[in-house]
Amino acid sequence: MTRYTTALVFGIAGIALTILSGCGDKASPIKKVANTLPASDSGYVKISDNLFALPLKKTDAGGAGSKRFSMLKNSGVDFKNYMERDITNMLLETGSGVALGDYDNDGLIDIYLTGSDVDNKLFRNLGNMKFDDTTFSAKVDGRIKDNKIWASGASFSDIDNDGDLDLYVCNMAAPDLLYINRGDGTFKEEGFTRGVAYNGASKQANFCDYDHDGDMDFYLVTYQDIVEIPHQLIRENEDGEIEVVPGKEEYVTIIDGHVDYWPGEQDLLYRNDGSGNFEEVARDSGIAGYDCGLASVWFDYDNDGWQDIYVTSDFKQPDHLYRNNHDGTFTDVLPETVRRTPWYSMGVDAGDLNNDGQLDFLVADMADQTHYGQKINMGDMSDSGWFLTYGKPRQFMVNCLFVNAGDKEYFELARQTGLAKTDWTWSVRFADLDLDGNQDVFITNGHARDNMNSDIVNRLNELKAKKGGEPLTFEERDKFGIQIPVREETNLAYANRGNLEFEAVGEDWGLDYHGVSHSAGFADLDLDGDLDCVINNYYTPSLVYENKTADGGRLLVELRSGLNNFYGVGSKIEIWQADNYQRRDLTPGRGYLTSDPMMVHFGVDESQKIDRLKVTWPGSRVQEFTDLDPNFLYRVIDSPDNKPESPPVAADTMFADGTEAAGLDFVYKESEFDDFEREPLLPFQLSRLGASVSCGDVDGDGVTDIFCGSAAGQPAALFMNRNGKFEKVAGPWESKAVCEDMACLFFDADGDGDTDLYVTSGSNEFDLESENYRDSLYRNNGDGSFEDVTESSLPDLRDSSMSVAAGDFDRDGDLDLFVGSRSVPGQYPVMPESHLLINEGGKFSVSSPEIGDFTNVGLVNSAIWSDFNDDGWLDLIVAREWGPVSIYQNNEGTFSNETENLGLGGQSGWWHGIVAADLDADGDMDYVVTNQGLNTKYHATAEHPHRLYFEDFDNNGTLDLVESEYEGDIEYPVRGRSCSSRCMPFIAEKFPKFHDFSLATLDDIYETDSQARQHVELNYLESVILWNDGGNGFESEALPSIGQISPSFGVVVKDFDGDGILDIVLANNFFGSQPETGFMDGGLGLMLKGTGTRDFDPQWPRDSGIVVTGDANGLVTADWDSDGDEDLLVAVNGDQFKVFTNQSDFDATKLSIEGPSGNAEGIGSTIKLHFKEGGQVQSHEISAGGGYLSQSANSIRVPSKQLERIEKISVRWPDGTSTEKLINSEGPESTEIKFSYQSQSDDK
């Protein structure tokens, strides 16, 4: 941090005295509200009393080869913002603003630009993209008594409700200025007399009628305004804890026990008293904290008709989402709304990106796009590593795109959309630049100094070291700062292609200016219906771009109210055109230091009418118009006849949160273990892969009970179902709390007709061969109580196991087990041994190699027994990490790996969970397999895989890990110089500068052909359906894109809504990643509704009712409340398990089976529904284990309307014999059809 110059300090003192000396001046009198109607010579055509239309001129597309945007050379906008290089205060290098508005009411949008070390300028629009500098005549140069002031943001707003735009200018270390529009092309400065001459570090005044009293209030974002740090800022309290001395909060804060200087100023909230004078009410309104604020945007995040505000904060200070409480107060709801934010939050914008009527928002950070940029600026995270695991929400150095899921919940999608890393970003803007009806994204980049460069930071630290660790003087820091070069970067544009998919088009569209750009405003400057652009740069002239888009319809809407709030700020404008819907909100303050015009813009189909235009004014008064032509600017006039619209009635969701009603009080408490202390370069923590959950009828009462696995240090829990309420009962597992439970499985181990329990023990936190890795078997005594029979019934295996599945693979009448191992503790990713355990009268032994080799299955996450080829013998299907989904075909009691032959060998993923289901009702089993998804830092293809090399690279006797990724066709290391060097010191010796390391390829660093080294690789990330081709092979199809928004784990497939079609539900998110990577938390859980084809329709939380914001792992389905519907239970790591009750109401017939002796549940049976039409057959399997650390109840219910189409139902039992029943055309006489096993001839 550097200081203001001495000249500035004394200069501002003088200015403050000058302002105070004028305190006796009177404010300009309030004028009568202006006429809301267009002037008679304005060109508007009257459509009705409250609607006027102005034809938009045709755009000149330019010559062949011209780009969408043309940078104008002779527009008359002559402005260059700069600051002398010898002034090195970073507070003044955060840029200046753009304000766009029609200040002279001639129908054309004018431009106001502010400067850091130059006068502000006002440019009047003359038409045809020509502008005239009217700063002097308008008296808005930003000076105070001829003293130049460092200006930041600026805003046009009608603060006195007289029908013309006033101008607010924010200043750094000087009073803010409020220019009152006199209506004759001139302004008068009245900031002090109106109560808004704040003298500090103002960034942006964002106007809105937050209290619905009809006038413009504003939120003032502030940054830092510190010349020198006072002494005695912290002290010890009576408890010996460090605290900030009262009154010094602006200078220092304490975060998680760490002292952090320069936290920033407190933001301010100014309430308009109705006369254009203001009262500051921040503290009384709930606006709190001392933060380095940079930007804000008003938007109705919860869709309740009142404007809320998001405020970004630089450095370690938190962002805020202030919810409007409708009474003049606000509540910061950000921690309960999102799970993450950027670390250095910069600009922000809000809008409806996917045209669903809900407002989304994007918050910018300064994350580099390129490998070189990421590594040169990564630095040493050790000093601030603590902060990465602190806070709610957590802060990470990437942009965040929050997509509104309804009911005040948001998906986070930046990485999946390609918007996570956009370099040193200031402004982010939503605007439909190509007139296709989707709002695109524009981004400004660059910085005055490259002061995040790690080599530069190291040189500064070396200067400190030469002084024995003493802080540098201001003069020494200034001298050093002058030498830091400018960081020039390229502005970016992303075309919104629909479905939340974005394409980088900056170069194609001509918006790829390279330099330092801060603020960016969008407006139709030439009245041709498309959006032009104005950018305020640093060190170079400001830019004016003309949009030359010729194709596509356009629509502009402006509002006027003679009642109050003259320009209708805060209104919602919606249009419907055929099947297309769009929404815009009139919120001028957006992006960064920018104020847009009082107008909204739509791209539309010019060949069709606008079916409906709806304006919802503040206060929920509604006005509608129909059958409008495109290619017009419409002026909507408010009317006293507009009536408030009743709030929409919330639609019923398919599921409701039933956790409290069910009484399932279980919180999975992860133990305190740092995998990265043991293996610093692990991709993620191996000790937090739980939580698990299993369903079974323990006491034989016909209802489903639940077993919840636990983390090390916490006992597991069995919950008995008592009429839909769960009651916890004790058991022998409580003595094994030291173990980390992974999968848990109910099955009949000893063939006595009741349900026993197997629990695998895993994790990474114990030593190799630890007793804590032994799995456990608990025998049911027949009454729902259990005893531990591990010693007498299981082999002494001490692998870190993960999954377990039961099936009678050898058809001998009892249930055998496959136990999949996850890792070798401390030796990741060395392959552990998995085991097939043969059941011999309730005692289990490891199978012989002749049956099959399962020692090299891989790093197993899940496994299921399933008859993929419908031959009556259970096959083994394994979901594993760093490999394909693997299929071991059962050849009548022995196994062969058929993965390659079945077409699955090419997809190496981080496969997590797997479930079998006949999704297309063709008689064979398909498989849903969950994976890492597309919304993480990992990107991999077959041509450019993500690899993990594991060898002793530095010959010190320990296993080193090196992750790699591709940029283009070149393979680079993923981890940075600092963390890699701490494990392998030769790297720092070989590359003393970050610059050299950042340029080095993987082979440059390790000096050999990388791929010749021992490694595993990942080339496929999407969760998929594996469509079964009759047992001859599989076709892999990715789930819909919204199903890829985070790592998915648990998965279930059932007909949840009674339409006879199977649906899919996913549990997702992962919080165990590297600290600098951040939580992979974009998901909320997801339901995919089956359509009867191979398509699935995502049901967003506002429709499904499924909302899980935490680290969701296990997922099961069962009818907890015995109402005939399938409910859900989600196991959440670090949080309470959640129950979702199915609210569907449909009639269904239950199919139940009674299996052979020793396997009463009929595990391994296949039930087939034979339909009357076309010989269609749908299969359902009875299984034990699957999903991810989960076991669902084996309930099959056939909706009545589906049963009417069924001719017969058959059951193939585990031994290959079959039973079938014909279905009467009138339907069944009862709500249950039961099948019982009888010894019959083999029906293979």
Convert the pLDDT of each residue in 620-631 to its tens digit: 999 999 999 999
- 498-512, 587-601, 646-660: lowest mean pLDDT where? 646-660
User: Do 685 and 1072 contact (CB within 8 A), yes or no?
Assistant: yes
Residue 911 has a pLDDT of 99
Cα separation, 132 vs 396, whole angstroms: 44
- 463-477, 999-1013, 1206-1220: lowest mean pLDDT where? 463-477
Confidence of residue 31 (pLDDT cuts 50, 70, 90): very low
Fold of 658-939+1019-1154: Methylamine Dehydrogenase; Chain H (2.130.10)
Helix (H, G, I), strand (E, B) or coil at 851: coil
- Residue 893: which residues within 8 A CB-CB, separation 6 or more? 809, 810, 811, 851, 873
Helix (H, G, I), strand (E, B) or coil at 189: strand
Torsion sign across C-alpha atoms 996, 1002, 1004, 1005: positive
Highest mean pLDDT among 24-28, 312-316, 472-476, 1066-1070: 1066-1070
The 10s digit of each residue's pLDDT in 656-682 is: 999 999 999 999 999 989 999 999 999
Q: Which of 590, 633, 635 is nearest to 615 (CA)?
A: 635
Cβ burial, residue 40 (10 Å; 0-12/13-18/19+): exposed
Please, where in the chain does CATH 2.130.10.10 lie?
658-939+1019-1154
The answer to whether residue 216 scores a pLDDT higher than 50 is: yes
The answer to whether residue 13 scores a pLDDT higher than 70 is: no
Q: Which of 918, 1132, 993, 55 is nearest to 458 (CA)?
A: 993
Residue 1011 has a pLDDT of 67
- Residue 1004: which residues within 8 A CB-CB, separation 6 or more? none
**Rama region for 1007: left / alpha / beta (φ>0; ψ in -120 to 50; rest):** left
Cβ–Cβ contacts within 10 Å for residue 702, how many? 9
Residue 654 has a pLDDT of 96
Residue 1012 has a pLDDT of 72
DSSP 320-379: EEEEE-SSS-EEE-HHHH-SEEESS---EEEE-SSSSSS-EEEE-----SSHHHHHHTT-
Residue 1072 has a pLDDT of 95
Confidence of residue 145 (pLDDT cuts 50, 70, 90): confident
Helix (H, G, I), strand (E, B) or coil at 594: strand
The answer to whether residue 34 scores a pLDDT higher than 90 is: no
Confidence of residue 10 (pLDDT cuts 50, 70, 90): very low
Q: Which of 252, 194, 255 is nearest to 226 (CA)?
A: 252
Region 874-878 average pLDDT: 99
The answer to whether residue 503 scores a pLDDT higher than 90 is: yes
Residue with tokens 């919860």: 302
The widest CA-to-CA distance across the chain, in whole angstroms, is: 107
Per-chain mean pLDDT for the chain: 92
The 10s digit of each residue's pLDDT in 832-863 is: 999 999 999 999 999 999 999 999 999 999 99
The answer to whether residue 189 scores a pLDDT higher than 80 is: yes
Residue 385 has a pLDDT of 72
What stretches of 80-176 adopt beta strand conformation (E)?
A: 98-101, 110-113, 121-127, 130-133, 151-157, 166-175
The 10s digit of each residue's pLDDT in 571-586 is: 999 999 999 999 999 9
The 10s digit of each residue's pLDDT in 880-913 is: 999 999 999 999 999 999 999 999 999 999 999 9
Residue with tokens 């010898």: 86
- Residue 1095: which residues within 8 A CB-CB, separation 6 or more? none
Residue 448 has a pLDDT of 93
Cα separation, 457 vs 479, whole angstroms: 14
Q: Which of 726, 727, 762 is nearest to 744 (CA)?
A: 762
The answer to whether residue 14 scores a pLDDT higher than 90 is: no
Residue with tokens 């403050």: 16
Confidence of residue 228 (pLDDT cuts 50, 70, 90): low
Residue 450 has a pLDDT of 92
The answer to whether residue 230 scores a pLDDT higher than 70 is: no
The answer to whether residue 697 scores a pLDDT higher than 80 is: yes
Within 13 Å and on the Cβ side, how many CA atoms surround 106?
Answer: 12
Region 484-489 average pLDDT: 95
The answer to whether residue 297 scores a pLDDT higher than 50 is: yes
The 10s digit of each residue's pLDDT in 364-396 is: 999 999 999 999 998 776 667 777 777 789 899
Region 1096-1111 average pLDDT: 96
Please, what is the angle between helix 454-466 and helix 474-482, to 10°? 150
Confidence of residue 233 (pLDDT cuts 50, 70, 90): confident
**Rama region for 733: left / alpha / beta (φ>0; ψ in -120 to 50; rest):** alpha
Cα separation, 551 vs 325, whole angstroms: 44
- 324-328, 822-826, 1031-1035, 1120-1124: lowest mean pLDDT where? 1120-1124
Residue 387 has a pLDDT of 78
- 37-41, 393-397, 826-830, 1166-1170: lowest mean pLDDT where? 37-41
Copy the structure tokens of residue 184: 């004759």
Region 266-293 average pLDDT: 96
Cα separation, 1211 vs 1180, whole angstroms: 9
The answer to whether residue 33 scores a pLDDT higher than 80 is: no
Region 806-823 average pLDDT: 98
Residue 160 has a pLDDT of 96
Residue 66 has a pLDDT of 87
Region 332-351 average pLDDT: 96
Residue 1075 has a pLDDT of 87
